[in-house]
Amino acid sequence: MSVSFAPRTCGTVAAALLVLAIGGAPASAVAQGASLPYAGTVLGTQGLEGYWRLGEASGTVAADASGHAVPGSYLGAPGLGARGALSADADNAVRFDGGDDELQAGGAPVAGAATLEGWFFWEAGVALMRDATSSAGWIIAYDSGGRVAYRAGGTTFTTSLATADVRDGWHHVVLTVSAGATGLYVDGALVHSGAGAGATPAAMPWHVMRNGTTSQFTRGRADEVAVYGTALDAAGVRAHFETGRDTNDSAAPAPPADLVATARLGRVELDWSDVADADLDGYDVFRATSAAGPFTRVNASRLTTPPSRTPRSRAERRSSTPSPPATSPTTAAPTRHMRSLRHPRPRISCAAMHRSYATRARRPTSPIRPRR
């Protein structure tokens, strides 16, 4: 893979570079349906009102797998076919740019008893999923002063969980409500419970990766969104999480090898050999002024390649036509095997290049466990 960012112009590159390979769902494509473990679990859950797998490769319609015929609509041209969240299912996800992308989905307007569920890679933005309101309403999770909060029937609940702790990769997020009692679960674990939720029904449609009807959009990926007219219990939530993620697989992939940095006019190009792990989610690139750090992430969004890609040798990748430079730090125009990224000018001095390598950890199975 190749990536570039703009350093202070100097004779040598003065940065310690840390490239992390991050695990994800398998890369091979499979069909949607109840025969798949996670989809079968959701479809077999009582009270299912709407289930949007978000596995479309093209178009503007998000199919409803629940059988209730309430398809959703993609607005703002989000990136379909992004790598998904599930371990044993290569069904794709959708990438949202935080500018104007969203999913609008119908379904029964939940009220007294309800569950909102989804897998989210929350990179930036306020809310993950909200009904068609700009005040009060229902919100599965949102950022409130650096803490994760949620809203049910117009009543707000704020947790002690730092928003930063769920912006480090894929997380399973579930909000349950029953007779005014609430529960917020992250990765199968209860992180907050409350009482006194309002009884106001949700206003349709649901806005995924947008803060309701406001102009605030969220950047990241979403997958496997579901709405139920019943409240899942703790065992049910945990079962969904464990079906979606292989919690026993703690082995990290091999670190990216053969890292090379080449100084160009106004930028540095990085190149490394691809990691041949089937469940690779992508790469994060960090920089520092010394090998000991501290490191700052260069890429605003995880660097990924198409799910169908096959790792190639450096010689093969060198023979490809490189991507044109991106126009902003969060977008790029990749070829099949290469991606280019520009980064704002870092404050670094002219010194020798240090090469740092590190393995990565798979996505945390606990909402408060930091990524290594």
How confident is the model over 243-266, as pLDDT tens digits? 999 888 777 778 888 989 899 998
Does the pLDDT of residue 207 top 50, yes or no? yes
Please name which of 241, 54, 191, 211 lies closest in space to residue 124, comparing C-alpha atoms: 211
Does the pLDDT of residue 54 top 90, yes or no? yes
More confident residue, 361 or 110: 110
What is the reported pLDDT for 311?
39
More confident residue, 84 or 341: 84
What is the reported pLDDT for 337?
28
What is the reported pLDDT for 21?
57
What is the reported pLDDT for 22?
63
Does the pLDDT of residue 281 top 90, yes or no? no
Residue 177 identity (one-letter amino acid):
V
CA 143 – CA 120 distance, rounded (Å): 14
Cα 212 off chain centre by = 19
